[in-house]
Chain A
Amino acid sequence: MLRTTAAIAAGKLTRAVAKRRGGGSALPGLVAERIDPKILGHALGALPGGIVVVSGTNGKTTTTRMLVAVLRAHGRTVFTNPTGSNFTRGVISALLSEVGLRGRPVADIAVLELDEAHALKFADALTPTHALLLNVARDQLDRFAEIDHTAKLLASLAARTSTGVVINRDDSFVARSADGVTSGVTIDYFGVDASIAHRLPELMEQDTRLDDDYVVPPPGADDVLLRPVDERSLEILIGVDGAGGVLGPLELKQRGLAAMINATAASAMARQLLGSGFDPATAASALSAVTAPFGRGEVIDAGGSPLELVLVKNPAGFTVALSTYGSTPVATMIAINDNYADGRDVSWLYDVSFESLRERGVALTSGVRAFDMALRLEYDEVPVAAVEPDLDRALERFLAERAGAPARIFCTYTAMMSLRRNLAARYDLPAFGEEAS
């Protein structure tokens, strides 16, 4: 315990210094972890409601926000890692701001967003009681090399979870991880209603591991299913045709099918955690109040007219984003960087169809790989008005040319960070890490 106290004191000090210097969010966690490698277990091990890990390729940040909102609406106090720093050290850093020197956060339950590799590292330190497995898509193959490997990481997370898992029934990579779950651990499923099953291929990776194609089983009585009503509103059904209850119809602040599926996943996990205490009406109103995280479909008030900032990081995500926004074409800019956090290989742009942008065209491509993006668009016969690799100059020009009309920027991670910093200075927005959770 003395060691934990020392670790927390050192971490808190680092955090104070880093904050004054405008530094990153992981360093305080690193310092604390060095002094007490078991700090996570000491700090989170005793939470009565358990430790929930949210993992998968797409939608972790949004789903975590939604799950936290639903749990809080049911009166639970929740510890979470809200800034999207989904590595173990990010979790410890988040902890440092909420714990006293004894190391116990004042919370009933922890809900943590962790990427696939770090979810397992986390499980080495502390066994998760619950795991919510979203999807497996191609993302940063530099780091994970193959999606089969990513699927294995999620399967071992499921196998190491002690109490309950919630699994995407439509994603064959994730659904197959149910086989490895320890007996006695509850398994629940979320997915989409039969009425929109035809849209799944645009969301899912092709699974070529086995000769038998994965067939989604008929839904069970406890499956939680998405049924969109129209582009903006949705219902979440518990069991076939909502025999066990219905959330909504409700509208989300974030647009599109991906956000709707995230809301469905969050509802399924909340229902498993809360049991008979889960109230569909409370959950629905909590979900409809959740704002989009930074850069994930966030709408910025750019001098009186809306500017949407949409993070794209893999083919499935970009495809969904394009279909989400396709019905409301506006001036569009695409910014592609190829730093480590973006994924250094830009080949994936050729697995996305950009035809929906053809009619309106793209005003600007930007980022380190601006010309590669322009070339990609050319092969889909999408007109590109200008190419400006420098992000600040591109933004300046884009904002000037759109003359107060609504606009949208699709961007990779580091391009988003840079653009958002520029926009924050321009329009006096809160900076990263200061986001109200």
Chain B
Amino acid sequence: MSMSKGEIHVVHLYPREMSIYGDLGNTRTMTARLARHGYTPVLHQHHPGAPFPDQAHLVLGGGGQDSGQARVEADLERIAGRLGDLAEGGTPMLMICGMYQLFGNAFITVEGKRLPGLGILDVTTQGNAKRMIGPVVLSTDFGDVVGYENHSGSTRLGSGQAPFGSVRSGFGNNGEDRTEGARTGNVFGSYLHGPILPSNPRFADALLSYAVPLATGAAFEPEDLDDAFADEARTRQVRRLLS
């Protein structure tokens, strides 16, 4: 085994409360791919009330139930300044479903109550009686991306806000404007479970390519990984859903 190309600190936000739909798989994918690319992953599980890690080169968050979301809100407010600084500094972040909503400007409940979010992404989510559930295919900067959505919130992008992808099959942000997710700098929000990273390795490695220079000062030097299973799983879903 050759020498490590460097330590990359990965922070998983609220693994207990906000990772009910297999989003732990995104974290597993990132630490495994870092190791396969010759880097040394250092994983931090951030729980409510705990100090936020000193080093963070990649931040991941997942979906939860409404009750889980309620339990992390106070902590998120506490670490908001830190997350804002990291986002500003180009730290890649991937926030799925519930955490995507919390990274937006606000969540408006069905009853009309406005719950403020972090405002890192210029999106606003309206609570809905109807759930948007099913498999999804997107076109993104990273090629076709497949996943599975399961959300009742309907999200609208602010006027200058870029989406993560455009919907080819499924609902996306709101089932109407064909946008899915949001991207500001290296911060990504998306509704896609699946989980999203294992079957979309090009997107996964893009996140790593943003994280590595922050940690090592040098560009990402990927190894040539065998992604045959991922590519086959993804192209089969694309074929199946678009046919």
- The count of chain A contact residues (Cβ–Cβ below 8 Å) is 31
Q: Which residues of B contact A147 (CB under 8 A)?
A: 20, 65
Cβ contacts B64-79/A at 8 Å (1 or 0 each): 1111100100000000
Given A146-B66, A211-B71, A344-B134, CB of A376 within 8 Å of CB of B21: no
Q: Are A138 and B32 in touch, CB under 8 angstroms?
A: no
| Selected interface stretch from B51-59, B102-110, B114-122, B191-199 | B191-199
Residues in A with CB closer than 8 Å to B230 are 375
Q: How far, in whole Å, are A389 and B237 apart by their CA atoms in the complex?
A: 13
Inter-subunit contact A372/B233 (CB<8 Å): yes
Q: How far is the CB of B129 from chain A (nearest CB, A)?
A: 12
Assess whether B17 is interfacial by the CB under 8 Å rule. yes
B22 with A348: CB separation less than 8 A: yes
Q: A145-B131, A208-B64 are in contact. Are A345 and B233 (CB under 8 A)?
A: no
Give the distance to chain B from A282, nearest Cβ to Cβ, in Å: 43
Also in contact, A208 and B68, with CB within 8 A (given A349-B22, A372-B233, A375-B230)? yes
Chain B residue at minimal CB-CB distance from A375 = B229
Is A350 within 8 A of B28, CB to CB? yes
CB-defined contacts of A148 to chain B, threshold 8 Å: 65-67
CA–CA, A15 and B14, complex, Å: 52
Q: Are A141 and B21 in contact (CB under 8 A)?
A: yes
Of the candidates B28, B66, B131, B198, the one having the most CB atoms from chain A within 10 angstroms of its own CB is B198
| Size band of the interface chain B makes with A | 20 to 34
CA distance A350 to B23 in the complex (A): 8
* Contact between chains at B229 and A141 (CB < 8 Å): no
Contact across chains for B199 and A351 when beta carbons are under 8 A apart: no
- CB B41 to nearest CB in A, in angstroms, measures 13
Question: Chain B nearest CB: distance from A269 CB in Å?
Answer: 30
* A 16-39 to B, binary, CB cutoff 8 A, 1 in contact else 0: 000000000000000000000000
Q: For B66, what are the chain A residues with a Cβ–Cβ distance below 8 Å?
A: 146, 148
Least CB distance from A366 to B in Å reads 13
Q: Which of B28, B71, B152 contacts A208 (CB 8 A)?
A: B71
Q: Is the interface of B mostly helix, strand, loop or mixed?
A: mixed
In-complex Cβ contact of B21 among A347, A371, A384, A387 (8 A): A347
Chain B's closest residue to A377 (CB) is B229
Closest to A384 in B: B229
> Contacts of A145 on B, CB cut-off 8 Å?
131, 133, 150, 152
B97–chain A nearest beta-carbon distance, Å: 11
Q: Is B210 an interface residue (CB 8 A)?
A: no
User: Scoring B residues 11 to 24 as 1 if CB is less than 8 Å from chain A, else 0, what string do you get?
Assistant: 00000110011111
For B229, the chain A residues whose CB sits under 8 A away are: 371, 374-375, 378, 384, 387
CB-CB contacts below 8 Å: B21-40 with A: 21-25, 28-29, 32
Is there a chain B Cβ closer than 8 Å to A198's Cβ?
no
Whether A379 pairs with B25 at a CB distance below 8 angstroms is yes
Instruction: For residue A215, give the distance in angstroms from its CB to the closest CB of chain B.
Output: 17
Q: Does B148 contact A (CB under 8 A)?
A: yes
Asked whether B232 is an interface residue with its Cβ less than 8 Å from the other chain, the reply is yes
Q: Which of A347, A369, A371, A374 interacts with B193 by CB under 8 Å?
A: A347
Taking a contact as CB atoms under 8 Å apart, the answer to whether A206 and B22 are in contact is no
- Picked from A142, A208, A349, A384, the residue with its CB within 8 Å of the CB of B67 is A208
Which of B71, B131, B134, B198 is A375 in contact with, Cβ under 8 Å? B198
Are A345 and B32 neighbours in the complex by a CB distance under 8 Å? no
Cβ of A209 < 8 Å from any Cβ of B? yes
Question: In the complex where A148-B66, A345-B150, A350-B195 touch, is A138 in contact with B233 (Cβ < 8 A)?
Answer: no
Q: Is the CB of B236 closer than 8 A to any CB of chain A?
A: yes
Distance to closest chain B CB from A386 (angstroms): 12
Instruction: Known contacts A141-B150, A211-B71, A379-B29; decide if A146 and B65 are in contact (CB<8 Å).
Output: yes
B213 interface hit (Cβ, 8 Å): no
- Contact partner, A347, options B71, B194, B232, B233, Cβ 8 Å: B194
Could you give 20 example pairs across A and B, Cβ below 8 Å? A138-B20, A141-B21, A145-B131, A146-B66, A147-B20, A209-B67, A345-B194, A347-B21, A348-B21, A350-B23, A371-B229, A371-B233, A371-B236, A374-B229, A375-B229, A376-B198, A379-B25, A379-B198, A387-B232, A389-B236
| B interface with A by C-beta (< 8 Å) | 16-17, 20-25, 28-29, 32, 64-68, 71, 131, 133-135, 148, 150, 152, 193-195, 198-199, 229-230, 232-233, 236
List 6 A-B pairs, minimum CB-CB distance, nearest first: A350-B25, A347-B22, A371-B233, A350-B22, A375-B229, A209-B67
